[in-house]
A and B are shown apart, each in its own frame.
Chain A
Amino acid sequence: MSLGPRIHEDLSFDKEAVLSLFAAMPDGIIVLDPMGVVLYANDSAHRMFGGRRLLGKNLGLPIMVGESHADVEVIDSAGRTGCAELRAATFNWLGQAATVASLRDITERRAMEGQLALAGQVFESAREGIIVTRPNGVIVSVNRAFTTITGYSAEEAFGNTPRLLKSGEHDLAFFERMWKSITEQGFWHGEIVNRRKDGSLYPELLSISRIQDADGQVMHLVGIFSDLTQHKIDQEALEEARLHLQQSEKLVEELERRYTVANSPVLSVVGGLYGSAPLSHSAKSVFDELVQRYGKTLELAVENLALKADHPVSDQLRALAEDLGYLQAGARDVAELHSETLTRKSKNVPAMKAKAMIEEGRFLVLELMGDLLSFYRKNYSRVPVAAHKVREPNTRAVQSRPKKGST
């Protein structure tokens, strides 16, 4: 060691002075024999091993590659581990070959390095663009996402200010408000339009905050921003999709409504009670035929009244009621049949005849209702509610049946 010759030259360095020098060294100093057994260890070394007695213990022979050091974990008396930087050199110790090992405690440094490395990874891997500036606005650091978003490399950004990205979309008052917030509250958060290197504009969500040292002095400003371009596109797409969905739902509703009307199940006994469509809709041609038959019956009834004729009106009404019954028509259908017939028959007829038809029609419709009720009583008394489950009006049965009393 280089100290050797000087110790002998300078008489002020006596043995005790050297020992106290080693003892006071902040690094752990350990002298090892060729087997790795500890011949000497200073106070710092003992401290690093948690007060463990080291003398005579086998630490192991330090292996170094080249002139460099090796990082090792030292184990203290309580089994805790700490990091140390190990350096070693061979020398002559009291006439025998030995190794001096120095151990520098790097536990805190390692932890700090770990934190720094993590912070660095966070900085670089963040999807948000990050700009760090001095208080005067000069950029000192940017991350990869900054380059991805703005198109400017780190080198292009360094030394510039964020005005590099200025779009011209915001007025002076906007920036005044921003700086007022940063100065007074320590941060600003908002949406801003910036310009990329290629000249294109993009919206970003930006947070600016101050970084202060222990004395409260502003050291840096950090801007963290995310590109809202895709977000806006997504939002528009979402809005469009929502509108499409709304339209589709309306269309589906409309289709369902039409389908219900077109494929209405057989009318219920009372008509409409089970939500079925009127006969006039579900079986239009049959309904038309019924209107004509009822119309003829009505005319015959008026003739009976006016001319004292003897047409078999009641028979015809019963036949009509039976057909309505087979169609499972309801009171609503009878009412519709009646009003439709009157509307048609009262057209282009003398007022007197129209009045007579309306008057006679009142009795007719009541009789028809009664007949229909009788029909249901006779035929459906056992299954009063099953009727609405039948899927189709039995129009064929009506059409194929001989028209009793229609002549």
Chain B
Amino acid sequence: MNKFRLTLYVTGHTSRSEKGIRNLQRICAEELQGKYEMTVIDVLEQPQLAEDQKILATPTLVKELPPPLRRVIGDLSDTEKVLLGLDIAVVADGNERKGK
């Protein structure tokens, strides 16, 4: 069973970054059924981490595991588009994505 490792990069504690975090939490809860690790990184607080990962803009959501590595930026409110962008077309449960 694959475990997803996701990292969300945000800038400061703004309402938009809060929105990004909420979206990520919702996506993980609904679609990944708990089989995930989620990290939120504020690039203002940890600029070196963002630099190391060559993060160019926020909000950026990175799927580090399972490969391939994928990044999406922009409006993360649409779960389907986010999952598609991260190449998460299939979840472990029955090899089929659960309907929203």
Q: Which residue numbers of A lie inside 8 Å of B, CB to CB?
A: 35-36, 49, 52, 54, 57-65, 68, 70-75, 79, 81, 84, 86, 88
Contacts and interface: CB of A to CB of B under 8 A. Distances in A.
B76 interface: yes
Contact of A49 (B56, B58, B78): B56
Nearest to B76: A63
A279 B52 CA distance: 99
Interface string B38-81: 00000110010011001111111110000010111111111001
17 contacts: A36-B71, A36-B73, A58-B71, A60-B62, A60-B74, A62-B74, A63-B82, A64-B74, A64-B81, A65-B81, A72-B59, A73-B57, A75-B56, A79-B50, A79-B51, A81-B58, A84-B57
A60 B44 contact: no
A81 B44 contact: yes
Contacts of A68: 75
Contacts of B73: 36, 59-63, 70, 72, 86
Contacts of A60: 56-57, 60-62, 71-74
Contacts of A65: 75, 77-78, 81
Contacts, number: 88
Contacts of B57: 59-60, 72-75, 84, 86
A179 to B, nearest CB: 46
Contacts of B56: 49, 52, 54, 57, 59-60, 74-75
A61 B75 contact: no
Given A75-B50, A79-B47, A61 B70 contact: yes
Interface in B10-51: 11, 16, 43-44, 47, 50-51
B43 A63 contact: no
Interface of B: 11, 16, 43-44, 47, 50-51, 54-62, 68, 70-78, 81-82, 85
Interface centre among A57, A60, A79 (most CB of B within 10 A): A60
B16 A71 contact: yes
Nearest to B48: A79
Given A35-B71, A64-B81, A65-B75, 17 more contacts: A36-B70, A36-B73, A59-B73, A61-B70, A61-B72, A61-B85, A63-B78, A63-B82, A68-B75, A70-B74, A70-B75, A75-B55, A75-B56, A79-B50, A84-B57, A86-B57, A88-B74
A212 to B, nearest CB: 35
A86 B70 CA distance: 19
B75 A63 contact: yes
A382 B72 CA distance: 103
A57 B72 CA distance: 13
A64 B81 CA distance: 8
B11 A81 contact: yes
A64 B75 contact: yes
Contacts of A61: 70-73, 85
Contacts of A71: 16
A84 B19 CA distance: 17
B50 to A, nearest CB: 6
A58 B11 CA distance: 18
B18 to A, nearest CB: 14
Contacts of A36: 70-73
Nearest to B86: A61
Which of A49, A57, A71, A72 counts the most chain B CB atoms within 10 A?
A: A72
B54 A57 contact: yes
A358 B23 CA distance: 113
A72 B19 CA distance: 13
B16 A75 contact: no
B55 to A, nearest CB: 6
A51 B82 CA distance: 29
Contacts of A79: 43, 47, 50-51
A75 B85 contact: no
A271 B3 CA distance: 102
